[in-house]
Structure 1
């Protein structure tokens, strides 16, 4: 470490960068939660045997939609983030007017995270027992209610864990974005720790990132465990049914 470190400046710099990182991660996760859930649900319901296998009365349309979504998800998950980030510079500049900066970094972060979370949503929904959907359908539930009242609530514990994993990945990606002018903690590590050889900045940045990830994992694990202990809607309904009386 260098001598005579200005710790006040270091802490101010890292504090500002932490705010930028949380801003990027927060908006990215919000967009990822919405878009990833929608795409994940569509992947399940438009698949063969799904409740929207033939939307608008056309099986061909449902199959094409499912194939296109599968292609988008697979493509998004196949491209390394660093390459994807560079490839999206023209697109980011087109929609925001600039490809660099804290806000601009949200674009590649979101496009990288959505396919990842979409696949997690798909896998979690496929674990829901088909009998629950059949029971809901027999009671006259609409497709919308089957998705919002049965499919998603039953898969919620797994979705929370999957979203936690996604959030940790987004934090890692946000550090990479900082290497090309995206701001945040990654930018501080590069400008001060790498270019100026001020090791103290790297150490503090690592501590902050570890703390952020630990908080995310702890919160996600706690929420998932709470959901599992509380029971899914079907489990709570079954528990509410009184046991049969002997004769």
Structure 2
């Protein structure tokens, strides 16, 4: 028990910081670029805007191709690319790059689904007024899709939190690395239990905050 407490005291703070950094960077990158892809998919599919079957098919194929890979396989595939970019892929920075690439197509489909749920009647009314496309997207589509959009961000953060634990299996830092290096390899069951409890609490807190925020913006 004393060994477990000592390990947690020395390493948990840094491991938690590395995880939060990786997940935070990946969430921002995933939401920004994923939203951009979602807008392209939405606009090229919706008949009210600028339907383009070729663009929609190509972008959709790329998104689905990346999403079809389990994250652990994607992580292994990306190691040479990450090594080319930053030198050492077995760091929190390398983990953040891998998580970001996984987050973009994941969030793109979530955001596209949120946009698709917007009331078509509202969009037809907006188009009939002659409003420019940018104004329709910013003033009608995004506000109506915002609750689903927020829930999608929450789902992305929680998924990335789980993915970050897999990053630890290659020694890239974070609480997953702590669980593997100390909890599993050194047979410190207390470390594993502490990390499981921490992950459960983090997910509950994130989900609670996300639900409250989404409810606030529900029309």
Distance 2:50 2:89 in 1: 38
Q: Distance in 2 between matches of 1:151 and 1:17?
A: 39
Structure 1 consecutive aligned stretches of length 4 or more whose deviation exceeds 4 Å: none
Residue correspondence of structure 1 range 21-40 to structure 2 within 5 A: 21-40=19-38
TM-score in terms of structure 2 length? 0.95
Take 2:137 and 2:42, find their aligned partners in 1: how far apart are those partners? 10
Structure 2 CA distance, aligned partners of 1:90 and 1:142? 44
2:156 corresponds to 1:158: no
In structure 1, what is the equivalent of residue 83 of structure 2?
A: 93
For 1:82 and 1:50, locate their aligned partners in 2 and report how far apart those are by CA, in whole Å: 39
- 1:186 is aligned, of 170, 176, 180, to 176
For 1:38 and 1:50, locate their aligned partners in 2 and report how far apart those are by CA, in whole Å. Answer: 19
Conserved 8 A contact 2:34-2:111: yes
Mapping of 1:140-155 within 5 angstroms? 140-155=130-145
**How far 1:12 sits from its partner (Å)?**
2.9
Relative to structure 1, the CA distance from residue 182 to residue 167 in structure 2 (aligned partners, 3 Å threshold; closer, same or farther) is same
**Deviation at 1:78?**
0.9
TM-score (norm 1): 0.84
Which among 102, 108, 111 is matched to residue 118 of structure 1?
A: 108
Distance in 2 of aligned mates of 1:192 and 1:143: 54
Which among 65, 72, 89 is matched to residue 75 of structure 1? 65
Change (3 A) 1:51 1:92: same
Unaligned ranges ≥5, structure 2: none
Check 1:6–1:129 CA distance in 2 against 1; reply closer, same or farther (3 A cut).
Answer: closer
Q: Give the SS at the match of 2:204.
A: helix
Is 1:109 paired with 2:107? no
Q: Is the 8 A contact 1:44 1:50 kept in 2?
A: no
In structure 2, how many angstroms separate the alpha carbons of the residues matched to 1:162 and 1:44? 16
Cα RMSD (Å) of the superposition? 1.4
Q: Which has the higher contact order (CA 8 A, sep 6+)?
A: 2
Question: Structure 1: which 5+ residue stretches go unaligned?
Answer: 54-61, 232-247
Higher helix share: 2
Q: 1:5 offset after TM fit, Å?
A: 2.0
> Which of 191, 206, 210 does residue 201 from structure 1 map onto?
191
Equivalent position SS for 1:135: helix
Cα offset, 1:8, TM superposition:
4.0
Confirm or deny: 8 A CA contact 2:126 2:136 kept in the other structure: yes
